[in-house]
């Protein structure tokens, strides 16, 4: 038998349903809704308006079971008042799938709960993809039933639900013979007079929806964590029940949140936001990314800010700097690495408690990042996962940890592909790829499979498609690889992981299940969130949302804020509010802190509770003051930055003379000189370029004409449009030769005259036929050919001058008797040196490795074992000038020479399988760097110093380079 989710009675859900039933009971007794709700609000001290609309609102925090609650509400409304027809309006496909799954998963539970009732289950119909039969069946059934719809199903006059009926519907006992027959399916639904349930009401805010919703005249229940806030919308009102943010955390109904801010710490200022004509800038201070706020005249990357616009800065050199939310590849890798690490840190302990850990990644709106020929983010993830998985497996106890080991190793399919990660993106529903379809179904529909150890899926990737409505209780880690979604509340963004987790028996790990052990509850039910440091104030934003969505006040506040909360929360009059504030101030239950912009700021006294107990107050006033503050809100959302302060690169005193000597030896501010080409060289170069260009095979631009026909009888269905290609023809462009030559000169950085000479050498046949087929592609190909031939020629024509008496600026700094390099001088990341004796002995820097990639860490730890190496380290930025741009070799080694000579080995390390895989531009720079080091060797030929520059790829051992 398949496992079933185990449900238990939860008091907040019971209270919510009971409140709704009591309101309907009053209405059925003839009382006006507004009168009922006014009394209800006064009794519960709800500070919300009551209006004459038919909305009845329920505010429940994300993750506390809204869907379960409204399903139970449907049963109770049927049981108590006989309501049979319900329409559930949901805004998106993931929410629809989640609602369907919830109705299915709770079916057996509610059958048992309502075993003595006639209606033991809800007959569910889902309208999707133009499937009008579901609507017909819903209209025709006489049982307790629910129709699940999206607003897009009817918010357009051409939708199937709005089209005229072809024939009368058979719907016995639903329409009076005296009334005019309905004209559309939507009108039929309205005549059923169903109770409508709206899930996430803030998503039902468009004018089209309001227009077509008009006519549903029964009461409608709005269940949401967020409500509309526009002036012309119905804001939170007519409230039946409220479970605010702080209450849901305090009652242990959701997971605790810990936010890790992770990114690459660059040595530059980055503009991350502009607020009220102030620039908010990330900058590196003492090895830590910090925030600074700059106005006009402030210094941004060494330049004065001349002007601050809405989304950009103008610097004093007229450069415009825009707000930058993009994440570099290094930042993406860093965040993925941190997220996988966090996942593994908790996975084993959860596994031992029979709980499966899931991790959710949100990525940018570009499916190719995860799918296609070279999906960048997928590649980054797979590389990092395999590295960390291998390390964990090596450290496991093969006997005692055998079950977890088997689970870890169940990561590949029969074809050897990694299958721990799946993706869901908009448009995936109809994807023909069977693997993709299976993954999407598991994410959207088969929650039980996803929660089982039998499924290897543990990482989910999505482009913000999994917002409200989709959830999985065992999402323990969320990583935002995208800064999109600012219009969505922070709590909604991470709400996919707030639900309390379940074990393999599908039993929720509630505080009651854990014997009221608060520490154990937080240890298990803990949601880690990884964000970029460009997400300004992520933790503060969540904390502010919690306060704004609650009826409490923060630990610091103004007089006006305190009075507002006292009045709204307790419905006190102005005189009472003023009197209570005076009491708080005079008895020093609140303490003046400072004045900001003319406003006095107060904070809660440490003796607040003790002083309050000694006051002679009416119980109503005492209770209001006792529950006034929310000083515990920071306990539930904590910041735990993984970017610890980076250390200075202190150079070991024993290695300093050698390292300094090495640096001064190689860091010459030399310029390259290109010898003039003689006429013969130039002519031969043009011939070589011409011969290769004229061998190009350029594909023609093709014009394709497609004829599409709309089948009227299938409008709204997936096969409503029929199309076929009716014409294909090649297309030749008319080429502006002068413009082509200019573009060639600009893109290759060669003189215009030389560009003209190359073009004139090409045959007329090539210009009129090959070039005309596709000018853009031809330009791109010719540019690469010219660049390659120029590099080859320049290798023999470049020399370095000015080495004598030339040294780059000193990078060594001294403080408290220690010599060091600035943080970030030799790499973007840092790692403490473990107990590796060889590495500790030979590595130039004290206790820390600075590096740019996993490949570098790997070779650093291997290189330390070689006897021939005296000391080694990473080089500061050397910046060798080349015709292709500056070049910076990676590593430096001091080698013991056999004849007593000092050998300095400079190595460029590349993580490629073969030398041919290195990009041409990089290989070109390396070729010029060889010339630079040859010039250095010539300069030092009489000083018993040899400098060797070598290329090292992943398959090359350092030993072979040293032996050579």
pLDDT digits (tens, 9 = 90+) for 832-842: 887 666 777 88
Residue 258 contacts residue 502 (beta carbons within 8 Å): no
CATH for 553-629, among 1.10.540, 1.10.238, 1.20.1250, 1.10.10?
1.10.10
Least trusted range by pLDDT, from 45-59, 431-445, 656-670: 431-445
Choice between 454 and 630, residue whose per-residue pLDDT is larger: 454
Give the residue, 950 or 241, on which the prediction is more confident: 241
364-373, long-range: CB < 8 A, 24+ apart: 364/463, 364/481, 364/482, 364/484, 365/463, 365/464, 365/482, 365/484, 366/463, 367/425, 367/427, 367/463, 370/423, 370/425, 370/461, 371/423, 371/425, 371/436
HSE (side-chain half, CA atoms, 13 Å) at 827? 24
Q: Dihedrals φ, ψ of 738, to 5°?
A: -65, -45
Higher local confidence (pLDDT), 213 or 73: 73
To which residue do tokens 């190689």 refer?
A: 666
Count H helices, E strands: the chain?
Answer: 33, 37
Length reported for the chain: 964
Give the separation between CA 870 and CA 240, rounded to whole angstroms.
Answer: 76
For residue 487, with 0-12 CB atoms within 10 Å meaning exposed, 13-18 middle and 19 or more buried, which class applies? exposed
- Stretch 730-745: mean pLDDT: 79
Q: Which positions ≥6 away from 272 have C-beta within 8 Å?
A: 280, 281, 282, 291, 323, 324, 325, 534, 536
- Which residue stretches of 129-206 are H helix? 132-140, 185-191
**Averaged pLDDT for residues 898-912:** 73
Instruction: Classify residue 679 by burial, with Cβ atoms within 10 Å: 0-12, 13-18, 19+.
Output: exposed
User: Looking at 247-261, 325-339, 718-732, which range is the least confident one?
Assistant: 718-732
The pLDDT tens digits for 844-853 are: 888 888 887 7
Helix (H) or strand (E) holding 126: strand 123-126
Question: What are the structural domain ranges in the chain?
Answer: 53-243, 264-322, 329-545, 553-629, 649-670+803-963, 672-801
Could you give phi then psi for residue 963, rounded to 5 degrees?
-65, -35
Predicted local distance difference test score (pLDDT) of residue 519: 85
Asked if 311 contacts 323 with a C-beta cutoff of 8 angstroms, the reply is yes
Can you tell me whether residue 595 is helix, strand or coil? strand
Instruction: Give mean pLDDT, residues 210-221.
Output: 89
Residue 699: which pLDDT band, with cuts at 50, 70 and 90? low
Label residues 730-741 b or e (16+ Cβ within 10 Å = b).
eeeeeeeeeebb
Helix (H) or strand (E) holding 14, with range, is helix 11-28
Q: What is the rounded CA–CA span in Å between residue 836 and residue 766?
A: 63
Q: Are strands 220-224 and 239-243 parallel, antiparallel or unpaired?
A: unpaired
What is the pLDDT at residue 720? 47
How far apart, in Å, do the first and last CA atoms of the chain sit? 68
Cα separation, 272 vs 814, whole angstroms: 33
Q: What percent of the chain has pLDDT over 70?
A: 84
Question: Which are the contacts of 158, defined by CB distance < 8 A and separation ≥ 6?
Answer: 715, 716
| Position 301 confidence tier, pLDDT thresholds 50, 70, 90 | confident
If you classify domain 329-545 with CATH, what class do you get? alpha beta
Rounded CA-CA distance 663/665 in Å is 5
Rounded CA separation 14/17 (Å): 5
Residue 644 above 80 pLDDT?
no
Question: What integer pLDDT is reported at residue 55 of this predicted model?
Answer: 92
CA dist 151 and 130 (Å) reads 13
How confident is the model over 156-181, as a mean pLDDT? 68
For 916, the token pair is 């041919």
Q: Are 934 and 940 in contact (CB under 8 A)?
A: no
CA nearest neighbour of 138 among 186, 85, 89: 85
* Structure token digits, residue 730: 């090649």
H helical segments located in 508-618: 518-524, 538-548, 559-570, 574-586, 608-613
Residue 439: per-residue pLDDT:
62
SS (H, E, C) 747-783: HHCCCHHHHHHHHHHCCHHHHHHHHHHCHHHHHHHHH
- Residue located via tokens 């800010």: 305
Closest CA to 481 of 288, 339, 642: 339
Q: What are phi and psi of 952, to 5 degrees?
A: -130, 120
Give the residue from 427, 443, 432, 327 showing the smallest Cα distance to 380.
327
- CATH topology identical between 53-243 and 329-545: yes
Mean pLDDT of the chain: 81
For the cut 80, the answer to whether the pLDDT of residue 703 exceeds it is: no
pLDDT above 90: percentage of residues in the chain = 20
Mean pLDDT to the nearest integer, 800-817: 76
Examine the pLDDT at 716 and tell me if it is beyond 50. Answer: no
Q: What is the pLDDT of residues 470-515, one digit of tens each?
A: 678 999 999 988 765 455 667 777 777 888 999 999 999 998 898 8
Q: Is 138 exposed, middle or buried (0-12, 13-18, 19+ CB in 10 A)?
A: buried
pLDDT digits (tens, 9 = 90+) for 58-109: 998 888 888 999 999 999 999 999 999 999 998 877 778 778 888 888 999 9
Please tell us whether the domain made up of 53-243 is placed in CATH 3.60.20.10.
Answer: no
Q: Of 447-461, 466-480, 573-587, which gets the smallest average pLDDT?
A: 466-480
Residues 6 or more apart in contact with residue 116 via CB below 8 angstroms:
none
pLDDT at site 487: 53
pTM reported for the whole predicted model: 0.66
CA atoms of 20 and 72, how far apart (whole Å) = 11
Residue 815 C-beta-side C-alpha neighbours within 13 Å:
7
pLDDT band at 464 (very low <50, low <70, confident <90, very high): low
Q: How far apart are CA 921 and CA 9, in angstroms?
A: 66
In the block, tokens 């990341």 appear at 829
CATH of domain 649-670+803-963: 3.40.1350
Burial class (CB in 10 A: 0-12, 13-18, 19+), 657: exposed
Pairing mode of beta strands 195-199, 220-224? parallel
* Integer angstrom CA distances of residue 767 from 16, 757, 763: 78, 14, 7
3-state secondary structure of 820: strand
**Which band of pLDDT confidence, cut at 50, 70 and 90, is reported for residue 594?**
confident
Q: Residue 29: is its pLDDT beyond 70?
A: yes
> Residue 631 — pLDDT band, cuts 50, 70, 90?
low
Bridge partners of 261, per DSSP, are 531
Residue 783 phi/psi, 5° resolution?
-60, -45
Strand (E) positions, 263-417? 270-275, 278-285, 288-294, 299-300, 303-308, 312-315, 320-322, 358-362
Taking Cα atoms as reference points, which of 829, 900, 907 lies closest to residue 873? 907
**Is the separation of the CB atoms in 713 and 132 below 8 Å?**
no
Q: Is the pLDDT of residue 1 over 80?
A: no
3-state secondary structure of 541: helix
Residue 386: predicted pLDDT: 94
pLDDT at 557 over 80: no
User: What CA–CA distance (Å, rounded) separates 384 from 803?
Assistant: 43
- Looking at residue 465, what is its pLDDT? 47
**What are 258's strand-pairing partners?**
528, 638
pLDDT of residue 277: 81
Helices of type H across 807-853: 837-842
Model confidence at 175, pLDDT cuts 50, 70, 90, reads: low
The pLDDT value recorded for residue 354 is 95
- Which candidate, 479, 469, 477, 69, places its Cα nearest to that of 248? 69
Q: Which residue has the higher pLDDT, 796 or 263?
A: 796
Q: What DSSP character marks residue 954?
A: T
Helix (H) or strand (E) holding 224: strand 220-224
């Amino acid at each position: 038998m398949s496992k079933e989710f185990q449900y238990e009675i939860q008091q907040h859900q019971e209270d919510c349903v009971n409140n709704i039933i009591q309101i309907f009971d009053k209405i059925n007794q003839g009382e006006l809704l507004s009168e009922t709700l006014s009394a209800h609000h006064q009794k519960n001290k709800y500070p919300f308006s009551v209006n004459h609309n038919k909305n009845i609102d329920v505010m429940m925090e994300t993750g506390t079971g809204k869907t379960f609650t409204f399903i139970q509400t449907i049963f109770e409304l049927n049981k108590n008042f006989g309501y049979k027809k319900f329409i559930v309006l949901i805004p998106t496909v993931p929410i629809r799938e989640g609602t369907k799954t919830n109705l299915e998963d709770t079916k057996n539970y509610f059958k048992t709960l309502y075993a003595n009732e006639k209606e033991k289950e809800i007959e569910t119909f889902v309208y999707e993809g133009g499937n009008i039969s579901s609507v017909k069946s819903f209209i025709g059934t006489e049982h307790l039933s629910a129709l699940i719809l999206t607003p897009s199903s009817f918010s357009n006059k051409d939708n199937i639900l709005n089209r005229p009926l072809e024939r009368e519907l058979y719907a016995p006992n639903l329409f009076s013979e005296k009334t005019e027959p309905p004209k559309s399916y939507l009108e039929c639904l309205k005549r059923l007079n169903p109770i409508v349930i709206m899930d996430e009401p803030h998503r039902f805010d468009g004018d089209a929806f309001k227009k077509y919703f008009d006519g549903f005249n029964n009461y409608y229940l709005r269940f949401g964590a967020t409500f509309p806030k526009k002036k012309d919308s119905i804001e939170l009102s007519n409230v039946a029940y409220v479970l605010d943010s702080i209450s849901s955390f305090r009652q242990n109904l959701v997971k605790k949140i810990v936010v890790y801010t992770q990114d690459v710490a660059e040595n530059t200022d980055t503009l991350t936001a502009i607020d009220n004509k102030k620039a908010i800038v990330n900058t590196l201070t003492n090895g830590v990314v910090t925030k600074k706020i700059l106005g006009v005249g402030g210094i941004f990357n060494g330049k004065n800010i001349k002007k601050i616009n809405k989304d950009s800065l103008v610097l004093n050199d007229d450069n415009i700097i825009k707000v930058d939310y993009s994440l570099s590849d290094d930042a993406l890798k860093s965040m993925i690495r941190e997220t996988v690490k966090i996942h593994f840190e908790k996975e084993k302990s959860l596994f031992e408690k029979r709980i499966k850990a899931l991790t959710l990644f949100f990525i940018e709106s570009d499916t190719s990042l995860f799918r296609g020929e070279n999906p960048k983010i997928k590649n980054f993830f797979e590389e990092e996962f395999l590295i960390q998985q291998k390390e964990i497996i090596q450290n496991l106890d093969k006997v005692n940890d055998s079950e977890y080991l088997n689970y870890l190793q169940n990561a590949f399919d029969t074809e050897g592909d990694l299958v721990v990660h799946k993706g869901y993106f908009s448009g995936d529903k109809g994807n023909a790829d069977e693997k993709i379809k299976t993954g999407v179904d598991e994410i959207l529909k088969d929650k039980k499979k996803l929660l089982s150890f039998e499924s290897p899926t543990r990482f989910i990737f999505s482009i913000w498609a999994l917002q409200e409505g989709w959830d999985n209780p065992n999402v323990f880690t969320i990583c935002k690889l995208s800064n999109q979604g600012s219009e969505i509340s922070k709590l909604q963004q991470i709400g996919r992981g707030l639900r309390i987790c379940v074990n393999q028996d599908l039993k929720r790990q509630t505080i009651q299940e854990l014997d009221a052990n608060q520490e154990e509850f937080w240890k298990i039910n803990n949601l880690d969130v990884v964000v970029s440091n460009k997400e300004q104030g992520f933790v503060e934003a969540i904390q502010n949302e919690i306060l704004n969505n609650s009826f409490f006040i923060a630990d610091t506040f103004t007089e006006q804020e305190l009075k507002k909360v006292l009045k709204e929360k307790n419905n006190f009059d102005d005189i009472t509010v003023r009197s209570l504030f005076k009491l708080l101030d005079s008895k020093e239950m609140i303490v003046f802190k400072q004045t900001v912009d003319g406003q006095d700021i107060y904070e809660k006294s440490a003796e607040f509770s003790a002083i309050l107990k000694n006051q002679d107050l009416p119980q109503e006033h005492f209770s209001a003051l006792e529950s006034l503050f929310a000083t515990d809100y920071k306990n539930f959302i904590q910041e735990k930055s993984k970017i610890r302060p980076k250390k200075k690169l202190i150079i070991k005193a024993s290695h300093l003379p050698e390292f300094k000597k090495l640096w001064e030896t190689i860091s010459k501010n030399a310029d390259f000189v290109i010898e003039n080409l003689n006429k013969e060289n130039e002519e031969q170069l043009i011939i070589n370029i011409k011969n290769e260009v004229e061998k190009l095979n350029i594909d023609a631009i093709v014009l394709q004409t497609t004829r599409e026909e709309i089948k009227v009888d299938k409008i709204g269905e997936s096969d409503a449009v029929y199309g076929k290609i009716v014409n294909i023809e090649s297309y030749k462009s008319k080429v502006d030769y002068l413009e082509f030559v200019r573009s060639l000169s600009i893109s290759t950085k060669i003189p215009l005259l030389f560009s003209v000479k190359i073009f004139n050498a090409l045959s007329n046949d090539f210009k009129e036929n090959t070039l005309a087929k596709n000018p853009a592609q031809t330009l791109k190909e010719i540019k690469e050919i010219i660049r390659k031939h120029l590099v080859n020629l320049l290798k023999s024509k470049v020399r370095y001058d000015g080495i004598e008496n030339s040294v780059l600026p000193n990078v060594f700094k001294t403080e408290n008797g220690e010599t060091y390099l600035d943080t970030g001088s030799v790499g973007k990341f840092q790692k403490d040196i473990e107990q590796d004796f060889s590495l500790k002995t030979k590595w130039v820097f004290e206790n820390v490795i600075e590096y740019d990639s996993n490949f570098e860490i790997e070779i650093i730890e291997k290189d330390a074992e070689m006897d021939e190496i005296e000391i080694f380290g990473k080089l500061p930025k050397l910046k060798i000038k080349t015709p292709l741009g500056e070049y910076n070799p990676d590593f430096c080694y001091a080698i013991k020479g056999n004849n007593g000579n000092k050998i300095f080995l400079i190595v460029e390390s590349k993580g490629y399988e073969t030398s041919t895989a290195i990009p041409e531009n990089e290989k070109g720079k390396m070729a010029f760097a060889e010339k630079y080091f040859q010039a250095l060797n010539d300069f030092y030929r009489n000083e018993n110093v040899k400098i060797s520059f070598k290329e090292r790829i992943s398959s090359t051992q350092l030993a072979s380079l040293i032996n050579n």
